[in-house]
Structure 1
Amino acid sequence: MTITQLEYVLAVAEHQNFTKAAEHRFVTQPTLSMQIQKLEDQLDILIFDRSKKPIELTEVGKRIVAQAKNIVNESHRIQDIVDQQKGFIGGEFKLGIIPTVMPTLLPMFLKSFIKKFPKVKLKIEELTTEEIMSRLNEGHLDAAIAATPLESETIKERVLYYEPFVAYIPENHRLKSKKTIDVSDLDLEDMLLLEDGHCFRDGVINLCKAFKTQHDETFQLESGSIETLIRLSDENLGMTLLPYLHTLELNKSQKNNLHYFTEPSPAREVSLIFHKSELKMQIVNALKDNIASIIRGAIAFQNVQIISPLSK
């Protein structure tokens, strides 16, 4: 039994197809099939039911795959130990970032991180929190940046910063005359929201529901991006809430529409998250330190109240 054979088994279990698994592992399909066949012969069992389309794991195959993941991860840990001993920070690192953080945070730290750690090959994807959690648990991401806490036993969280919510209120809105607003002023019925699937949307809904009973009415308008929400609000179609970093790039006219909350300001907690068995901790630590050092100069708010990003 070899680590390579177990890696081939994991690839077929993931892709449910020998040809796709071989492409993923950069080997020929006959080579991959032969190695898995050798392993099955050695163990005297069938790992895959090849009569099914797509290919399925047998019952014993499911248990073997679960154990194979542990073995392959532990084998990778040996190289990780060597890298840490040598102080080496490099190699491929797959990072997921939620959509409401990506456009503001990434430009702030990416250039600095690449310059400081040129041997790290970052592969960055914009993903929802649900996609991030799934990929972290499946081993397809090394880490992610998301709103927390996520209350997962398998995921560790390291807080990067607390980002206050800021109200964006257009002309002719009922709250326009207020210099600062209270959470109790909010009403979902005249608020523009992100589409379902965004944790920032869930945070806004949780914020409103915590202080005020809402009617079960359909929201007037929903959008897939914060930029669109701002444009819709500029057309007097409703107010919206923005994460603080999104307010820094607004033009002078738009900044006149910003209204801050009375303290403690509602805020989201943004963290670097990773699976509890993550191997590349030297890169995780480098990312956290780099981002934290940059963000300190952008967000100075202290008296905040963290709003849960989880749908309730």
Structure 2
Amino acid sequence: MNLRELQYLVALADHRNFRRAAEACLVSQPTLSTQIRKLEEELGVALFERAPRRVMLTPAGQDAVARARRILAEMEGMREAARRLSRPEAGTARLGVFPTIGPYLLPEVMPQVRARFPQLQLLLTEEKSDQLLTRLREGRLDAAILAMPVHDPALHGEPLFKEPFLLAVPRQHALATRKSLRMEELSRYSLMLLEDGHCLRDQALEVCQLSGAQEGSEFRATSLETLRQMVLAGLGVTLMPALAARGMAPYADRLHLLRFEDSQPSRQIGLFWRRTSAMGPLLSRLAEVLRSVPPGLLDPEGEDEAGSRAALPAAE
């Protein structure tokens, strides 16, 4: 067994097609097929179920692929460690971010990241949190921006900032005449939430549990943008993270945002990477840059721009 065979194994698991896997590995299809068969003979089990038009992993194959990913990630980590010794802030870093924060955070922080690390190429991936964690554990990502906590002793997490939640209501809603509300008042309303798999849904459900609010049963959104459009259409209310709320000014005539008076619900955002990663020192420095989000972006009272004040609630 050698590393090349493990690379073929992972490629076939990813592509589920011998031709496409061979192309990805820059070898002929017979070469890849022969090496996969040789690996199966060496292990004494079938790793793939071969059908006329598709390839599927067997249970033994799933286990072998997971182990192969870890081995290949460790080897890449060894190469990366050697590269970092000579050029610690150069090269490539693969960063994952979840979709309810990526579009709102990255435009604000990427100019500072590029200025601080001019020789670093940052490859960005946007996925749901559970998929980011899988990629991070398997070595397909170097780091990921996630909501805390993440319970995995193999990962190191650096807190970045706390992002408050606001309540978004249509302009014709009874609450649209107010600037703030108490948490307990949420118990009178049903909230529109995201579908399963989004960490924002889990965070919103925690707020519902604390306040006594209920989830609306007739609708679950696939994205934060869909939730916003549903509120704009006057179809319900929802919790909106502060960074996403900054883009609501153009809709001030149709949407209203309220602060919470007594207990500010929020989510803690962090940067996570494998404890064994050779990129740890670099990622610590990257966390410092990501942590320097302008306070006004997270504080509804900190924005001076007139257009934004039209959408965001000010202090009473």
Contact 2:242-2:299 within 8 A present in 1 as well: no
Provide the residue aligned with 2:256 in structure 1: 257
- Of stretches 44-53 and 8-17 in structure 1, the one that deviates more from structure 2 is 44-53
Counterpart Cα distance in 2 of 1:78 and 1:197: 33
Question: Deviation at 1:100?
Answer: 1.0
Provide the residue aligned with 1:310 in structure 2: none
Counterpart Cα distance in 2 of 1:33 and 1:80: 30
Counterpart Cα distance in 2 of 1:232 and 1:68: 44
Provide the residue aligned with 1:27 in structure 2: 27
The 5 A counterparts of 1:210-249 are 210-212=210-212, 214=214, 218-219=217-218, 221-249=219-247
Read off the aligned partner of 1:262 and give its amino acid letter.
E
Q: Deviations over 1:136-193 (max 9, x none)?
A: 2333222222222132344432211100011223344343444421111114744333
- Of stretches 29-38 and 240-249 in structure 1, the one that deviates more from structure 2 is 29-38
Aligned partner of residue 248 in structure 2, secondary structure: coil
Counterpart Cα distance in 2 of 1:170 and 1:58: 50
Counterpart Cα distance in 1 of 2:182 and 2:198: 24
Q: In structure 2, do the counterparts of structure 1 residues 294 and 16 end up closer, same or farther at CA, with 3 Å as the change threshold?
A: same
Aligned partner of residue 209 in structure 1, secondary structure: helix
The 5 A counterparts of 1:82-231 are 82-187=82-187, 189-212=189-212, 214=214, 218-219=217-218, 221-231=219-229
Counterpart Cα distance in 2 of 1:234 and 1:50: 49
The 5 A counterparts of 1:269-288 are 269-288=268-287
Question: Deviation at 1:224?
Answer: 3.2
Q: Deviations over 1:2-24 (max 9, x none)?
A: 43333223333444443332222
Question: Deviation at 1:241?
Answer: 1.7
Read off the aligned partner of 1:197 and give its amino acid letter.
G
Q: How many residues are aligned here?
A: 296
Question: Deviation at 1:93?
Answer: 2.6
Q: Deviations over 1:177-218 (max 9, x none)?
A: 44421111114744333334322122112211223274x862
Provide the residue aligned with 2:6 in structure 1: 6
Contact 1:12-1:18 within 8 A present in 2 as well: yes
Q: In structure 2, do the counterparts of structure 1 residues 51 and 251 end up closer, same or farther at CA, with 3 Å as the change threshold?
A: closer
Contact 1:5-1:35 within 8 A present in 2 as well: yes
Contact 1:169-1:257 within 8 A present in 2 as well: yes
Counterpart Cα distance in 2 of 1:50 and 1:225: 35
Gaps of 5+ in 1: 302-312
Q: Deviations over 1:102-152 (max 9, x none)?
A: 111010122332343343332222211122223223332222222221323
Question: Deviation at 1:35?
Answer: 4.6
Gaps of 5+ in 2: 301-316
Question: Deviation at 1:292?
Answer: 1.1
Please point out which of 49, 52, 65 is paired with 2:50: 52
Question: Deviation at 1:242?
Answer: 1.1
Question: Deviation at 1:239?
Answer: 2.5
Counterpart Cα distance in 2 of 1:65 and 1:257: 49
Normalising by structure 2, we get a TM-score of: 0.77
Counterpart Cα distance in 2 of 1:233 and 1:291: 30
Read off the aligned partner of 1:8 and give its amino acid letter.
Y
Q: Deviations over 1:5-59 (max 9, x none)?
A: 3322333344444333222223333343455566667xx4446456633254584
Read off the aligned partner of 2:288 and give its amino acid letter.
D
Contact 1:101-1:146 within 8 A present in 2 as well: no
Question: Deviation at 1:72?
Answer: 2.8
Q: In structure 2, do the counterparts of structure 1 residues 122 and 145 end up closer, same or farther at CA, with 3 Å as the change threshold?
A: same
Read off the aligned partner of 1:273 and give its amino acid letter.
F
Q: Deviations over 1:221-277 (max 9, x none)?
A: 443343443343344333222111122233277298222112431101111123444
Q: In structure 2, do the counterparts of structure 1 residues 300 and 39 end up closer, same or farther at CA, with 3 Å as the change threshold?
A: same
